Structure 1
């Protein structure tokens, strides 16, 4: 497999900037804005099989990561079970950890590199420097992140409504079964 960094026509920073403005990342940014944001990011390599974000983690959670190359499995723990479920596979152009760079709250999912990962990391400290040095670009970045999070919230709300409808239908079906069972038992007693 060839690397995105083997293209002699593009500097690694430009590759990162182009990925940052894709639909899977922050397509509200211009390429010029993205180049400025990338200047505040640092490169990171993650070996395949590494769990680099742990759900519930409260330390070292003040950064976001732009996947440049490789794939990441995103998992959530299943409540009441000692299991987790893969909820997404993210690859080049995806952002991970946008909430953490903003609020530093516990991580909402576990992320595992399923291949070797090349990424660009923006820490909260670097974000604050960007906001000070390039306030307009920083504001556009924050707006783009906010829009992305709003889209995800809407999608989650849509899924919750679907699950609630499924749950209601299952409860109604179960009630019918229970009523039929009660009726059959009453007939047997006669």
Structure 2
């Protein structure tokens, strides 16, 4: 196995820090790092737009991201602000559907990105690690769905 590059070590460390992949071992993080990329997004820059085809997901390393939906007047409304460690854009990567919301950098951000193609490549090259990554994403989505269900229920009472 080749020695990880400086960039891959940085990605590995960021993956270990984000808290999303607690079930992974050090070797898993090292292997997974090669499938992720890093990006820096300036405050106010749109990361993706509601309705776009979803070709990647992100994990926030630093900064904040506003999740926006378009209201009936065609105006963007911020429905959530995501902070360090949160993943977003993963639904479209997993289900192939269009983006359900827009995401805009609410501050300068550093992001870890996982493309749909990279996830497919990981599934072929390292299926056990890919399964752990996908499971962690599914658990995160499940927790968010349970919270949303609880919020809907509390609004009805």
The Cα shift of 1:31 comes to 4.0
Deviation string 1:14-42 (CA, Å, 9 cap, x unpaired) is: 3322234x1xx333334432332221011
State the aligned residue count.
149
Q: 1:88 to 1:32 in 2, by over 3 A?
A: farther
**RMSD after superposition:** 1.9
Deviation string 1:35-67 (CA, Å, 9 cap, x unpaired) is: 32221011222121101121222x3x1211111
Higher fraction of helix: 1
Q: Which residue number in structure 1 is paired with residue 17 of structure 2?
A: 19
Report whether the alignment pairs 1:130 with 2:125: no
SS in 2 for 1:48: coil
TM-score of the superposition, structure 2-length normalised? Answer: 0.83
TM-score of the superposition, structure 1-length normalised? Answer: 0.70
| Bigger RCO of structures 1 and 2 (CA < 8 A, at least 6 apart) | 2
Report whether the alignment pairs 1:44 with 2:39: yes
Q: 1:32 to 1:89 in 2, by over 3 A?
A: farther
Distance of 1:48 and 1:116 partners within structure 2: 5
Higher fraction of strand: 2
**8 Å CA contact retained: 1:65, 1:119:** yes
In structure 1, list runs of 5 or more residues that go unmatched: 1-10, 166-190
